[in-house]
Amino acid sequence: MQDKISVIIPVYNAAKYLPKCIDSVLNQTYKNLEIILVDDGSTDESGKISDKYSYKDNRVIVIHKENGGTSDARNKGIKAATGKYIGFIDSDDYIETDMYEILLKTLYAYDADIVECAFYRIKKDNLILPPKYFSGTPEQFNVSQAMEE
């Protein structure tokens, strides 16, 4: 289980959340990652924060570009990616330390093309809302079902 995962994080004016996001990816139990931070023309300190992380850890790659929106930033990240697999995280999110290890094991176990996981929404008052659609057990879909979901 040594396939590289390229984790693409579009960044736009996320200085308040960005360190927690990046740290949660760097601290994964699965280490064969490249973290591609795509600074989408931020006007706050997000670009500088991204650069600092790239100096600290050689798995972090930073792309600075003019603002073009989240989809454009993701597409720039995809073009730069060298991993066998690609993951996406928003810059105001953070992940569990074993998320990519579990996703990769699930991908192998089911010979899947795509895997996804549940997520929690955390309100400003730190109230954690449970996942809306997670049954608690893995589900398999064919192409049509996956598109519908």
Domain ranges of the chain: 5-116
More confidently predicted of 130 and 73: 73
Q: Please state, in angstroms and as integers, the Cα–Cα distance from residue 114 to each residue in 7, 100, 127, 142, 143, following that order.
A: 14, 13, 30, 11, 10
CA 28 from chain centre, in angstroms, equals: 12
Spatial contact of 42 and 17, defined as CB atoms under 8 Å apart: no
CATH fold of the domain at 5-116? Spore Coat Polysaccharide Biosynthesis Protein SpsA; Chain A (3.90.550)
18-53 pLDDT per residue, tens: 999 999 999 999 999 999 999 999 999 999 999 999
Q: Is 20 helix (H, G, I), strand (E, B) or coil?
A: helix
Q: Please state, in angstroms and as integers, the Cα–Cα distance from residue 20 to each residue in 36, 53, 69, 82, 90, following that order.
A: 15, 12, 22, 24, 11
Positive or negative: CA dihedral 17, 21, 22, 27: positive
The predicted model scores a pTM of 0.89
Q: In 17-60, which ranges are continuous DSSP H helix?
A: 18-26, 46-56
Type of residue at 41: G
- Residue 8 corresponds to which tokens in the numbers above? 């693409």
> How far is the C-alpha of 15 from the C-alpha of 50, rounded, in Å?
9
Percentage, residues of the chain above pLDDT 70:
87
